[in-house]
Amino acid sequence: MIKERFGAELDQCFRQGVEQGLWSAAAAGMYVVENSKRASHGDFSTNMAMVVAGKDRKNPREVAQHLVVMLGEKKDLVEKVELAGPGFVNVFIKPEVWQSVLPGVCEQNEKFGLSDVGAGRKVLVEFVSANPTGPLSVGHGRQAALGDAICRLLAATGHAVTREYYYNDAGRQMRVLGESVRARYLEQLGLPNEFPEDGYQGEYIRDIAAVMVKEHGDRLKDQVDVTPFKQSAEKAIFEDINGTLLRMGIKFDNYYNEHSLYDEGLVDDVVTILREKGLVYDQDGAVWFKTTKFGMEKDRVIIKSTGEPTYRLPDIAYHREKFRRGFDWMVNIFGSDHIATVPDVMAGIEALGYDQSKVTVVLHQFVTLLREGKQVKMSTRKATFVTVDELLDEVGPDVVRFFFLMRKADSQLDFDLDLATKQSQENPVYYMQYGHARLASIQRKAQELGVERGPLAEVSLELLVEPEEQSMLKSMAAYPELVNSAALALEPHRIIFYMQELAGQFHSYYSKHRVISDDLPLSKARLWLAEGLRIILDNGLTLIGVKAPDSM
């Protein structure tokens, strides 16, 4: 907010310089304003002089000198301006300007930081999308936390968000699942059975079979078609998955069944359209998509010689439906093992005449689970994977979400179970939550003592002059910009890093200064400051789906 104001003033100085013939307009839009890293460099600094000098072949320090004079005249915003180094211009903002951010924070309260940069654009975010073959594992957990936080960020920035879960209950995987259940069913009836070679060995299969024995007795023992087993399994597993997601606080708006694409002839449509465009051909009994036309190394099969489509075809049809449903932006969140599918689908979108730049794929790297410092090996087929439910049992939803979000998606993530389990200083989750609890506690204490912070308009905010107070106000002013950039970059981890920093500033301040004291005007100002901090911690935690407790 303040940075934008300063940026506008700087632009005006630039234009003024052009008018006065001090420099050309060549550098327009090429210079930047940044937050100074060092207090001695002021609040903001700009490289404008160096960029201008580079374009016009002038001496940067001379250009900077002009700028220093011009900025010095912005007396309602600027305290002082300094020329430094090779031509940086460092600007110190007046304390009262920083103090003025506080009323905005407190009045907007839970709305502070929200924006409408999304302008109501319709965004479809697809994530988790695990087929119902078993409980959600740790990898899905990362995707769930990431996807949901991205949705929250997009919603906070004025996008109309739809959360969608895409699944397939018709493929080979599901058939094997049905066969696995049947084998356990027969086993529990004491009948001969053959467990599929690549069957699902998890205990949950036995549970599903047991329910079937209870409901149907041995009536299904001669059942040749696996459908009833498959259906029971799907139902039970989806209930389980949804239960897990709900424990994490995640609700989808829509579940999209791949099968419906076939029922509505949408898969055939794609083949027909591509064939008409000459982008498809038959060879060796299979149908091939000319992906080489879209810069890929070789063509890909979309219908196998058995007549079954490969996963690409319904994926393409699904994306075509996303476009036809009128979304302006489609965000797909995939594990890095799905990298290979991305170019295929993108080629399909392009081939069908849609704009692939409207599709953004967020790939996240794998999760390594550590227990006692050692990696826990996981396999879906064997029962050796750790489920999200187990994580939730051990550490609770706040810790789970936090750990999954604290790294950027590109990085591999170590989930250290021992660290996550610790309710101590080593566990970074509590740092922010504790900050919020402390801030809430201060307000309670003030009430107990009968110290009213009173109406904001009557509070002497000019008393907030401590360096710690100034720097917290500065951080607070940067929050809305942070939310915007995190949303547009689809990077929730930025919120976490910001809040760790803000909570740190507060903890440090807390141990150095007292909010409530004998000085009533000062107490009031600081109580409002504390309230502003609490609001931002609350809002930020909400964005990543972690609770902001009033006491711990």
Which one of 225, 239, 337, 462 is in contact with RNA (CB under 7 A)?
A: 337
> At closest approach, how far in Å is the CB of 340 from RNA?
3
Binding positions for RNA, 79-118, rule CB under 7 A: 84-86, 88, 90
Which of 17, 11, 12 lies closest to 32, judged by CA? 11
Q: Residue 287: beta bridge partners?
A: 282, 303
Which one of 58, 510, 542, 547 is in contact with RNA (CB under 7 A)?
A: 510
DSSP string, 363-376: EE--EEEEETTEE-
Instruction: Report if residue 308 touches RNA, rule: CB under 7 A.
Output: yes
- Dmax over CA atoms of the chain, in Å, equals 95
Which one of 59, 272, 384, 508 is in contact with RNA (CB under 7 A)?
A: 508
Contacts of 545 (CB under 8 A, 6+ apart): 145, 148, 149, 152, 248, 249, 250, 397, 401
For residues 424 and 485, the answer to whether their CB atoms sit within 8 Å is no
Instruction: Report if residue 69 touches RNA, rule: CB under 7 A.
Output: no
- x/- map, 429-458, RNA, by CB under 7 A: -xx--x--xx-xxx-xx-------------
Instruction: Report if residue 51 touches RNA, rule: CB under 7 A.
Output: yes
DSSP state of 387: B
> At closest approach, how far in Å is the CB of 15 from RNA?
18
> At closest approach, how far in Å is the CB of 219 from RNA?
31
Which one of 514, 519, 520, 521 is in contact with RNA (CB under 7 A)?
A: 514
Stretch that binds RNA, among 199-207, 239-247, 316-324, 499-507 (CB under 7 A): 499-507
Binding positions for RNA, 398-417, rule CB under 7 A: 406-408, 410-414
DSSP string, 56-116: HT--HHHHHHHHHHHHHT-TTTEEEEEEETTTEEEEEEPHHHHHTHHHHHHHHGGGTT---
For residues 206 and 89, the answer to whether their CB atoms sit within 8 Å is no
Binding positions for RNA, 249-288, rule CB under 7 A: 283-286
Instruction: Report if residue 494 touches RNA, rule: CB under 7 A.
Output: yes
Which of 501, 502, 498, 500 lies closest to 486, judged by CA? 498
Instruction: Report if residue 321 touches RNA, rule: CB under 7 A.
Output: no
> At closest approach, how far in Å is the CB of 7 from RNA?
9
Binding positions for RNA, 23-42, rule CB under 7 A: 32, 34-38, 40-41
Binding positions for RNA, 125-164, rule CB under 7 A: 131
Q: Which H helix or E strand runs over 378? A: none
> At closest approach, how far in Å is the CB of 347 from RNA?
13
Pairwise CA distance, residues 9 & 77, whole Å: 9
DSSP state of 386: P
Q: Are strands 122-126 and 160-167 parallel, antiparallel or unpaired?
A: parallel
Instruction: Report if residue 465 touches RNA, rule: CB under 7 A.
Output: no
Instruction: Report if residue 375 touches RNA, rule: CB under 7 A.
Output: no
- x/- map, 215-254, RNA, by CB under 7 A: ----------------------------------------
DSSP string, 289-356: E-GGGGT-SS-EEEE-TTSPBPTHHHHHHHHHHHHHTT-SEEEEEEEGGGTTHHHHHHHHHHHTT--G
Binding positions for RNA, 285-304, rule CB under 7 A: 285-286, 297, 300-301, 304
